[in-house]
Chain A
Amino acid sequence: MSNYIPTIGVEVHVELKTKTKIFSNARNGYGQMANSLTNVVDLGYPGTLPTLNEEVINLAIRAATVLNCKIRREMFFDRKNYFYPDNPKNYQITQSRTPIGYDGYVEIEVNGEKKKIEIEEMHIEEDTCKSAHRGTRTLLDFNRAGVPLIEIVTKPCIASSTEAKLYLEKLKELLFYCDISDCKMEEGSMRADANVSIRKNESDPFNTKAEIKNIGSISNVGLSIEKEIERQAKLYDAGETFKPQTRRFDDKLQDTVLMRVKETGNDYRYFPEPDIPFVVLTDEMIEEAKKGIPMLPDERRKVYVEKGVLETNANKLVQNRPLSDFFNTLLEEDTDFKIASNMLLGDISAYLNREEKELSETTLTKERFLELVKAYAEGTITSKNLKDMLDTILESDKSIAEIMKEQGIENITDDSEIRGVIQEIIKNNPESVSDFKNGHDRALKFLMGQVMKETKGKANPRLANEILLEELKG
């Protein structure tokens, strides 16, 4: 197989996380009983009219902003006319001529180098209903009809399956973090189509493209692009060509399969939707929508590392939105961020996983967490203490000091008491003392162990260490 340069464009449909649908007041929800979240507007009953959910405009502005798009101030909707059973009015309300966002980009990092994936446009539209085929019958579930979508279209600027995957991961992270969408590909709240063509040289015109529709996961997007490049290359190598076509990715075959050859002149008879007046975005609306944008993932990673968090931990935190959000509430505080991140990702995450809980379902507050981090940093509690106390910390409202007292893990911080214990140990272990003096560090650890054993682990480790060194040197 000879070498070809692939050109890839990706179209993503994302369902917006609104309370109600885009053009009706029916609830927007997933996984409910078929046809329980629908009304006469969604069903396209005669005489019904669309209203416009302001939440949709708000989220779309937010999306356009984080995708670095220009925002159109005056826009209308268009009708896209085509007959299909999943299309209740037999037209879909979309934005064909005046997409809300255009000329944007998403930045990815490929092999250590930054690359901007350019966004041609993003527009608002309504989802269709869902059809299920049962033998010779087709069943329709209108719960999805009228769910708000944004469609995000890249320019044909993606050079590889890896770039496509990185783009989708980045897109997903951004939209998820901004509460724009769940971005669950397995539930269809994020759906991707890939347009693929290949050519021999950079200077050649673009060749015929194939569109792979509705790919169910990011990894399958990568795989289907690779398979499609391979298929096209084989055809060209054999001196063959192909017609523009729509394909799908078959999970079982792990390959793309032809759905239909595209007919020329697919005619959607677009015209401006007369039932919805012009939408004019004011500065206030845009500002209001931008307020909903939290600190974005890249920014979070950067700030965390600046605060002393390990890079791997910074990444792990960002991957766990609730922990990251909690962590963000600490950023203005004077605390040990490294310990804080370790604690969240370590013992606290372990607890949450074991109990199948969200952080918000525990009793942990910012104040109590700071108290805990402080105690640990100062050596008032040991990591063993932490493990012992954690369930109580996360399930009651008691202060850390109170819990320590209750569980009898009040550590000895009394200078003279520890000194007495240490002096006794030094007296009883002359061999170790001389080992230490001869430069054997292990002896120090042994002696510390003895201190802990003698105090049943209650000695403040830092304090004990200091006194031990003093006594040994003295």
Chain B
Amino acid sequence: MKYLNKGIDEIHELLKSKKIKPIDLVEEAFENIENNKELNAYITLNKEEAIKTAKELEDKEVDNILFGLPIAVKDNICTNGLRTTCGSHILENFVPIYDATIVEKIKEKNMIIIGKTNMDEFAMGSSSRTSYFGAPKNPWNTNKITGGSSGGSAATVSARDVLFAIGSDTGGSIRQPASYTGIVGMKPTYGRISRYGLIAFASSLDQMGPMTKNVYENAVLLNAIVGKDPRDLTSANREEEDFTRFIGKEIKGMKIAVPNFLMGDVVSEEVKNKIKETIELLKKNGAVVDFIDVKYLDQAMILYQIIAMGEASSNLARFDGIRYGFQAENVKNIEDVYLETRGQGFGEEVKRRIMVGSYLLSGENAKIYYNKALSIRDDMRKEFNKVFENYDLIIGPTSVSTAYDLTDPMDDPRKSFMDDVLVIPANMAGLPGMNIPVGFDKDHMPIGMQIIGNSFEEAKMYQLGSFIEKELNLDLTPGGEK
């Protein structure tokens, strides 16, 4: 009997009525992962501990809807006692002695962490192919990329190994792989979720979020992981709210903007057509959809490169082999410790970004590039604010195309930024962005639509997302029902 492809309400009832136990779900998850081993979705499995936790839960009351449910966590999120590699050789043997705040919250709900998912090294990439542990594969076609950087999380949810995964999104790393693998991925408003324990890539952009098979489950998981955290000064102090509260509500009268930039020439016809079909569906159901010009969107990718690489060059400076992590052998002096440890410990993409970032912050460059980027970013935020004075939500495609081949060349470093050109603006403005599947291309690879909301208006995004999900009623299980 399989349970993990069912909805969480049904599973919750089964657990509550003691028809199944958490251990059944945990065993099923590990069985699924074993069967889907080829996907390379995980860097580390938490088998022993997960089984132990599941058994301990048998004596506890099933007190919340997430109780006893298996979850996968991206490997840049610190888990106490469980190896956290960030997809890198330099942290290959790093075992944190602390939980990220998001992990504490997951554990408070008595969810069970199944393992740590594969990702681009330090989340730097858009195909998960920069992982030191090899690229994960797309469950819809194992010759294709999962997207990235949260590729492992996307793959394992898409393959229905587990119900939930946590991803992180600095420049689209939740939404873009979600679109490639046909799942729902939410990057909440910057500050919604404490970043304490998330290994920083670009501090002013990083945000974690839920990756799930449907909108409702996404909102339920988000309920559990948000909140102000005294350990993260950038976390937002918001009143508690139920993100599922608008799910199932009408969208009649909803005002939706489609920035022309998101439907530009870089986007493939197939993707554009699918988005247009969805727009027609929305109009038919009473939503107002306008195509508008939004300034600065075309510059978001450049700004992103400057800010993300600048911050990354500083954030990754701590990996020097002195206090933790990999340290190169046979070093002669302190200079050598740095050069060899970091030279051997980091992969090519990470080194490239550290170098470019260091250059961008050097001397006068900081003013010319970084400070200027911050100021244009403010302008971009203001521009988005103007849009939200007149519209409830912004929509467009998530990705310019569907997932491409794992064997496609990686020799153009700009390619990975181009992949994210449509998702980066939300990060730059700190806005919430979500992917929902809206159909398939001719090779039956998923196409995703992006919904961008005003700050802290995730609930409204779920409202629209769930409406589309219900109307389209797509079969989103790779290879059909298992």
Contacts and interface: CB of A to CB of B under 8 A. Distances in A.
Interface of A: 40, 43-52, 79, 81, 83, 85, 88-91, 138, 140, 265, 267, 269-272, 274-277
A272 B374 CA distance: 10
Given A46-B86, A49-B195, A85-B334, A275 B203 contact: yes
B317 A83 contact: yes
B100 A267 contact: no
Contacts of A85: 322, 334
A85 B320 CA distance: 9
Given A48-B196, A89-B317, A43 B323 contact: yes
B196 A47 contact: yes
Nearest to B361: A269
A410 B315 CA distance: 77
Which of B77, B100, B314 has the most CB atoms of chain A within a 10 A radius of its CB?
A: B314
Interface in B364-393: 366, 370-371, 374
B363 A46 contact: no
Given A47-B77, A47-B96, A48-B197, 6 more contacts: A46-B91, A47-B200, A90-B318, A138-B334, A271-B310, A274-B311
Contact of B233 (A50, A83, A89, A138): A50
B328 to A, nearest CB: 15
B40 interface: no
Contacts of B91: 46
A89 B313 CA distance: 12
Chain B CB within 10 A, most for which of A44, A47, A83: A47
B361 A81 contact: yes
B225 interface: no
10 contacts: A45-B96, A46-B91, A46-B96, A47-B76, A51-B233, A89-B318, A90-B317, A90-B320, A271-B366, A277-B233
Contact of A51 (B76, B84, B230, B371): B230
A131 to B, nearest CB: 10
A85 B318 CA distance: 10
A447 B338 CA distance: 89
Given A47-B198, A269-B366, A91 B96 contact: no
Contacts of B311: 271, 274
What 9 pairs across the A-B complex have the smallest Cβ distances? A90-B317, A269-B361, A274-B203, A274-B204, A47-B197, A46-B199, A47-B78, A44-B318, A47-B199
Contacts of A44: 318, 323
A85 B314 CA distance: 15
Contacts of A50: 233
Contacts of A275: 200, 203, 232-234
Taking each of B198, B319, B361, B374, which has the highest tally of chain A beta carbons within 10 Å of its own beta carbon?
Answer: B361
Interface in B231-258: 231-234
Nearest to A97: B371
Contacts of B96: 45-47
Interface string B95-136: 011101000000000000000000000000000000000000
Contacts of A269: 313-314, 358, 361-362, 366
Given A46-B84, A50-B233, A81 B317 contact: yes
Nearest to A142: B323
Nearest to A276: B233
Interface residues of B, number: 46
B318 A88 contact: yes
Contacts of B195: 47, 49
B456 interface: no
B271 to A, nearest CB: 33
B94 interface: yes
B291 interface: no
Q: Which of the listed residues A40, A43, A81, A274 has the most CB atoms from chain B within 10 Å of its own CB?
A: A274
A91 B198 contact: no
A44 B315 CA distance: 10
A49 B231 contact: yes
A44 B98 CA distance: 13
Interface in B389-420: none
A109 B338 CA distance: 50
A339 B272 CA distance: 94
Contacts of A46: 78, 84, 86, 91, 94, 96, 199-200, 318-319, 324
A37 B243 CA distance: 42
B121 to A, nearest CB: 13
A140 B322 CA distance: 10
Contacts of A271: 310-311, 314, 361, 366, 370-371
Nearest to B325: A46
Nearest to B195: A49
A274 B196 CA distance: 13
Contacts of A51: 230-231, 233
Contacts of B323: 43-45, 88
Contacts of A274: 202-204, 234, 311
Contact of B234 (A47, A140, A272, A277): A277
A458 B232 CA distance: 73
Interface in B433-455: none
A79 B204 CA distance: 14
Contacts of A276: 233
Interface string B337-359: 01000000000000000000010
A303 B196 CA distance: 52
Nearest to B366: A271
Contacts of B358: 269
Contacts of B320: 83, 90
B135 to A, nearest CB: 23
Contacts of A88: 318, 323
Nearest to B335: A83
B375 to A, nearest CB: 12
A278 to B, nearest CB: 10
